[in-house]
């Protein structure tokens, strides 16, 4: 499917899903090559870009799909099922597409001058510094985990705004952080993505070729931005909501695939003690794993469905709704980590050799290492649910500020 670029002729959720299903054989066929070269293959990127899959959450006025989070989640889930690395890069592309609701008008006119297929990647966690000068910022820094950056046109990079040798502070006592958009030509990619899993994501570290670079103000936006400059009310959830959506969507697909792979093996693999699936112990453990995954998936779609209903009604997400989507994100990762460990052990020697099961196991235990899944954030969710936050409490990327 060739994605339509006019807001009046925007693809529907069914169009995107049909395109994704059509592309699944290609995504799966290219997975091994993506692992070998350590980034997505040109074939997969071109196909997904052409179908608009990376831009489902881009605001319509920029030529994107502006799908609801639930509808886009179902599509990413399918891509991640076919290949974890492809799913990861798809969710990153859509997180970056969502953020374009907050980039100033002049910036998006430059970035999307040739249509909606501009690719943005990078690291939003502020590993850089920005010093205000006339018309913008002088930026320096080194960023890690730039998933998808090999094929990106721009890097979205977090920077702490500095005044001398001290950070500029927000009224709530947290440092002022901005997101800068830096053209790919100005970046130095480090060839250091040699990792256990998610090998095909090309999550290279990167810095600036010049050491320091002027970035115009219109190519930046505040990390904490919630008031969108374009698009619908759903963009008011900001980066905290966008990233929770992305990691949840990815985990749903890979978590499902690992269970389907061990089920396939269990029906056919015979050892000294017979067919794996005939074991009472295996059947008991598999039923537990299947139940836990389905319950976790239902939790994810319940809280995201509720949040989408709120956003579509024109209201803002509550403190508790954000806590719930972050809890669901952490919970689905905990469940798939547990179930993939069961699948890996039950797979025996098969799981040790190159296979989809082995790749899923490696990808899952790489995905669970992400900063957003930290115990500290999970504990902050509990603080919200227990009613232990102040009247003016609000979410930051790493917790709740009272």
Please report where in the chains the tokens 């989070």 appear, as a residue. Answer: 69
Ramachandran angles phi, psi of 359, nearest 5°:
-65, -40
For residues 143 and 206, the answer to whether their CB atoms sit within 8 Å is yes
pTM to 2 decimal places: 0.95
- The reported pLDDT for the residue numbered 169 is 94
Tokens of 196: 């256990």
Q: In the prediction, which pLDDT does 268 show?
A: 86
First to last CA, the chain: 47
Q: Judge contact between 206 and 158, C-beta under 8 A.
A: no
- Do the domains spanning 120-222 and 233-401 agree at the CATH topology level? no
Q: Tell me the C-alpha distance between 364 and 261, whole Å.
A: 14
Closest by alpha carbon to 110, among 213, 232, 218?
218
Q: Look up the CATH number of domain 7-111.
A: 1.10.540.10
Which tokens hold the place of 297?
């998936």
Give the contacts of 195 (CB within 8 A, at least 6 positions apart).
203, 366
Domain ranges of the chain: 7-111, 120-222, 233-401
Do 68 and 53 touch, CB atoms closer than 8 A? no
Q: Rounded distance, CA 194 to CA 351, Å?
A: 21
- Specify the CATH number of the domain 233-401: 1.20.140.10
Yes or no: say if 54 and 333 are a contact pair by the CB < 8 Å rule. Answer: no
What is the distance between the alpha carbons of residues 381 and 329, in angstroms, rounded to a whole number?
Answer: 11
Length of the chain: 402
The CATH number of the domain covering residues in 120-222: 2.40.110.10
Q: According to the model, what pLDDT value does residue 263 have? A: 96
- pLDDT of 402: 85
In this predicted structure, what is the pLDDT of residue 278? 86
Query: What does the alpha-carbon distance between residue 334 and residue 145 come to, in Å, rounded to a whole number?
Result: 22
Predicted pLDDT at 227: 93
* Residues of the chain predicted below pLDDT 50: 1-8
Give the pLDDT score at 141: 97
Q: What burial class does residue 204 get, using C-beta atoms within 10 Å of its C-beta: 0-12 exposed, 13-18 middle, 19+ buried?
A: buried
């Amino acid at each position: 499917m060739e994605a339509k670029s006019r807001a009046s002729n925007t693809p529907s959720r069914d169009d995107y899903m049909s395109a994704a299903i059509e592309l699944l054989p290609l995504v799966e066929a290219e997975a091994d090559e993506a692992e070998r070269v350590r980034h997505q293959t040109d074939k997969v990127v071109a196909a997904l870009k052409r179908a608009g899959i990376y831009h489902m959450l881009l605001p319509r006025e920029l030529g994107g799909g502006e799908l609801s989070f639930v509808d886009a989640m179902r599509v990413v889930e399918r891509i991640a099922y076919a290949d974890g690395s492809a799913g990861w890069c798809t969710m990153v592309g859509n997180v970056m597409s969502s953020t374009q609701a907050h980039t100033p008008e002049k910036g998006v006119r430059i970035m999307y001058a040739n249509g909606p297929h501009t690719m943005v990647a990078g690291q939003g966690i502020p590993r850089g510094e920005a010093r205000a000068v006339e018309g913008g910022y002088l930026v320096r820094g080194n960023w890690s985990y730039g998933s998808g950056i090999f094929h990106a046109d721009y890097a979205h990079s977090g920077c702490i705004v500095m005044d001398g040798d001290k950070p500029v502070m927000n009224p709530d006592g947290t440092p002022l952080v901005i997101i800068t958009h830096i053209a790919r030509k100005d970046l130095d990619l480090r060839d250091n993505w040699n990792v256990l899993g998610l090998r095909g994501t090309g999550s290279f570290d990167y810095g600036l070729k010049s050491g320091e670079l002027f970035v115009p103000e219109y190519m930046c936006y505040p990390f904490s931005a919630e008031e969108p400059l374009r698009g619908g009310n759903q963009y008011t959830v900001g980066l905290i909501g966008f990233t929770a959506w992305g990691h949840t969507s990815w985990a749903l697909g890979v978590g499902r695939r690992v269970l389907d792979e061990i089920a396939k093996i269990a029906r056919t693999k015979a050892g000294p003690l017979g067919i794996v699936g005939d074991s009472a112990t295996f059947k008991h453990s598999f039923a537990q794993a299947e139940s836990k995954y389905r319950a976790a998936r239902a939790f994810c779609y319940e809280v995201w469905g509720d949040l989408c209903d709120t956003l579509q009604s024109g209201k803002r997400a509550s403190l508790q709704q954000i806590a719930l989507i972050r809890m669901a994100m952490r919970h689905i990762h905990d469940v798939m980590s547990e179930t993939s460990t069961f699948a890996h052990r039950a797979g025996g020697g098969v799981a040790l050799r190159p296979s989809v099961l082995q790749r899923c196991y490696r990808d899952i235990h790489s995905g669970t290492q992400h900063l957003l899944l930290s115990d500290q954030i999970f504990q902050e969710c509990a603080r919200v649910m227990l009613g232990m936050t102040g009247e003016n409490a609000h979410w930051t990327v790493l917790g709740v500020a009272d």
